[in-house]
Amino acid sequence: MPAATLTEHVSDIVLERKTPLWWWVGFGFSASLLLVFVGALGWLFFRGVGVWGITWPVAWGFAIGNYVWWVGMASGGTIISALFFLTRSDWRSATNRIAESMTVFCVACAGIMPIIHLGRWWYAYWLFPYPNTMGTWPQFRSPLYWDFAAILVYVVASVLFWYVGLIPDMATLRDRDTNRWQQIFYGILALGWQGSSRHWREYRATYPILAALMAPLVCSVHSIVGLDFAGGLTPGWHETQFPPYFVFGAVLSGFAVVLMLVIPIRRAYGLQHVITERHLDILARLMLTTSLLITYAYGLEVFMPFYRGEAHELASVMSNLSGTYAPWYWAKIVLNTVIPQLLWFRWVRFSRPLLFIISAGVVIGMWIERYVIVVSSLHRNYAPSSWFVFTPTFWDWATLAGSMGLFLTGFFLLLRFIPMVSMFEMRELAARRKPEPAE
């Protein structure tokens, strides 16, 4: 598509076109879920963390599973934006705005979860190393502390990265806009971007640096999330493969979410010639690759206890395969490992409904994987007299659904007010490909 009409098309979505009905419906639904979230959090803060199903010995439940799930999905966006920028993959430009925006809100939801799950969340700031009257410092050896640092960095870096990538497009909107208030709004966000060669120079210095920081950040953040569990001695958690296992899982769920967002958006906004079937094909292949990686990790998870023969690990694995949580375990295997193998077939990759369903299955399967990891190892641990089955309460589900409301509300707002395709990058692609038409 020629560059000028692309810009028109994308910016018109934000500026000119009347907000479509589906947006209002979606936004209304998300906002009501957000209200559920607020209600669930309010009740949680009032009554205490006991409104959830967590207990002794399963002291972590949905909240930590949710946190890992959200942070995992956030990573997919970062991989597309950052890693594939560094590899100079051109196809990334069509989807990277959606991916980064998804990352920002996933990371917001992820960051909330570990705070609200604290027994005394109002003291969460004690995890920050500041000199205080108690003379104490955080306990740096704890994986939870590494987690805090990692998430803090990830949040700041993701927002920065997303925002810096957004500035030229904000300037475009400011320049194209006719409404005075909108001009001011986008003008402030554009930070005075003029598109001069000086500006582009700074941009081209900054953005690759940010990308070079973000790409390894995904691996390190998710390795640390994995160490949250691997740093504990519970059988089923204490596995050295958890850092890469979590990275694989995170990237898999990230790609799945990007697909789940990209497929409806391109249809709703008529961006089929910008985000083409080739893009979907690539994303599907990436999802297949990461599914194979996680399959390997699942295989190791089962193989190693048998190889080592340690009784408690074996009991943990057997409990997963055929115990109380076996249905959940096998559901995760089917959704994350078996069904994505359909993506070997070209006709599946090019069928958008199927792609969407497979991605949704992966997203759900990855949540189940985190739930099984958290709960099943804790319920069968080294002290048999403490074995107890975790049952979630209504408030567990409400918090989970509500966090989805937070994400969706934020994303819908972004859909409305921010261009969903990175216009300047697409322009650059189009110019480079002349006289061939850009895909």
Partner 1 sequence: MSGNHSSHGLVAEFEHSEPMLDALRRLREAGFERLEVYSPFAVEGIDEILARRRFRTPLVVFTAGVVGAVGGFFVQYYGSAIDYPLNIGGRP
Partner 2 sequence: MPEAHEFERWSDARAYDGTVTILQPQLHPLWDGWSAHELLAVLGGEPRPDGYAIIRDAWKHETEAFWIDAVREGVVRDSGAPPVEVSVMAGLAERLPPALPASDTLTALFRPDPWLRDGRYANNGWLQELPRPLTTLTWDNAALMAPATARRLGLASGQMVELETAVGKGRAPVWVMQGHAPDCVTLPFGFGRTVAGRIGKGVGFDAYRLRSTAGLWQMPGLQLRATGEHYALATTQHHQMIESDEVVRGDTLEEFRGNPQFAQKPEPAESLYPPYEYKRNAWAMAINLNSCIGCNACNTACQAENNIAIVGKEEVLRNRQMHWIRIDTWYAGEADAPEETFFQPMTCIHCEHAPCEVVCPVEATVHDTDGLNVMVYNRCVGTRFCSNNCPYKVRRFNYFNYAKDDPRLSLSWNPDVSVRARGVMEKCTYCVQRIRNARIEADRDQRPIRDGDIRTACQQACPTEAIVFGDLNDPDSAVNRRKASPLDYGVLTELNTRPRTTYQARLRNPNPEIGEA
Binding site for partner 1 (CB under 8 A): 3, 7, 129, 135-141, 168, 172, 194-198, 200-206, 209, 424-425, 427-428, 431, 434
Distance separating alpha carbons of residues 99 and 426, to the nearest angstrom: 15
Taking CB within 5 to 8 Å according to partner kind, which of partner 2, partner 1, none is near residue 3?
A: partner 1
Taking CB within 5 to 8 Å according to partner kind, which of partner 1, partner 2, none is near residue 50?
A: partner 2
Instruction: Provide the minimum distance between the beta carbon of 315 and partner 2 in the complex, in angstroms, as a whole number.
Output: 8
Which DSSP state fits 117? T
Distance separating alpha carbons of residues 76 and 258, to the nearest angstrom: 7
Taking CB within 5 to 8 Å according to partner kind, which of partner 2, partner 1, none is near residue 120?
A: partner 2
Instruction: Provide the minimum distance between the beta carbon of 70 and partner 2 in the complex, in angstroms, as a whole number.
Output: 18
Q: Which two tokens stand for residue 194?
A: 């003029």
Q: Tell which residue, 161, 315, 297, 137, has the closest CA to residue 230.
A: 297
Q: In sequence order, what DSSP letters do the residues of 203-265 get, joined into one string?
A: HHHHHHHHHHHHHHHHHHHHHHHHHHHHTS-STTT--TTHHHHHHHHHHHHHHHHHHHHHHHH
124 — phi, psi (to 5°)? -60, -25
Taking CB within 5 to 8 Å according to partner kind, which of partner 1, partner 2, none is near residue 193?
A: none
Instruction: Provide the minimum distance between the beta carbon of 58 and partner 2 in the complex, in angstroms, as a whole number.
Output: 8
Give the CA distances from residue 364 to residues 69, 169, 195, 218, 287, in Å, rounded to whole numbers and listed in that order.
9, 34, 43, 21, 14
233 is an interface residue for partner 2 by CB under 8 A: yes
Taking CB within 5 to 8 Å according to partner kind, which of partner 1, partner 2, none is near residue 307?
A: none
Instruction: Provide the minimum distance between the beta carbon of 209 and partner 1 in the complex, in angstroms, as a whole number.
Output: 5
Neighbours of 389 (CB within 10 A): 14
Please give the distance of CA 433 from its chain centroid, rounded to a whole number: 32
Q: Which two tokens stand for residue 105?
A: 């809100």
Q: Please, which residue, 202 or 277, has the CB nearer to partner 1?
A: 202
Instruction: Provide the minimum distance between the beta carbon of 51 and partner 2 in the complex, in angstroms, as a whole number.
Output: 8
Query: For residues 63-122, which are near partner 2 according to CB under 8 A?
Result: 117-121
Strand boundaries in 4-154, DSSP class E? none
Q: Please, which residue, 39 or 232, has the CB nearer to partner 2?
A: 232
Respond yes or no on whether the N-terminal peptide bond of residue 435 is cis (omega within 30° of 0). yes
Instruction: Provide the minimum distance between the beta carbon of 147 and partner 2 in the complex, in angstroms, as a whole number.
Output: 8
Instruction: Provide the minimum distance between the beta carbon of 433 and partner 1 in the complex, in angstroms, as a whole number.
Output: 13
The residues, any chain, with a CB within 8 Å of residue 89's CB and separated by 6 or more, are none
388 is an interface residue for partner 2 by CB under 8 A: yes
What separation, in Å, do the N-terminal and C-terminal C-alpha atoms of the chain show? 7
Count residues contacting partner 2 (CB under 8 A)? 46
Distance separating alpha carbons of residues 408 and 394, to the nearest angstrom: 21
Residues 118-147 as x/- pattern, contact with partner 2 by CB under 8 A = xxxx-xx-xx------x-xxxx-xxxxx--
Rounded to a whole number of angstroms, the CA Rg of the chain reads: 23
Taking CB within 5 to 8 Å according to partner kind, which of partner 1, partner 2, none is near residue 53?
A: partner 2
Q: Which two tokens stand for residue 116?
A: 């609200």
47 is an interface residue for partner 2 by CB under 8 A: yes
- Which amino acid does the sequence have at 106? C
Instruction: Provide the minimum distance between the beta carbon of 230 and partner 2 in the complex, in angstroms, as a whole number.
Output: 11
Q: Please, which residue, 161 or 424, has the CB nearer to partner 1?
A: 424
Q: Please, which residue, 220 or 393, has the CB nearer to partner 2?
A: 393
Q: Which residues bind partner 2 (CB under 8 A)?
A: 47-50, 53-57, 59-60, 117-121, 123-124, 126-127, 134, 136-139, 141-145, 148, 231-234, 311, 315, 378, 381-388
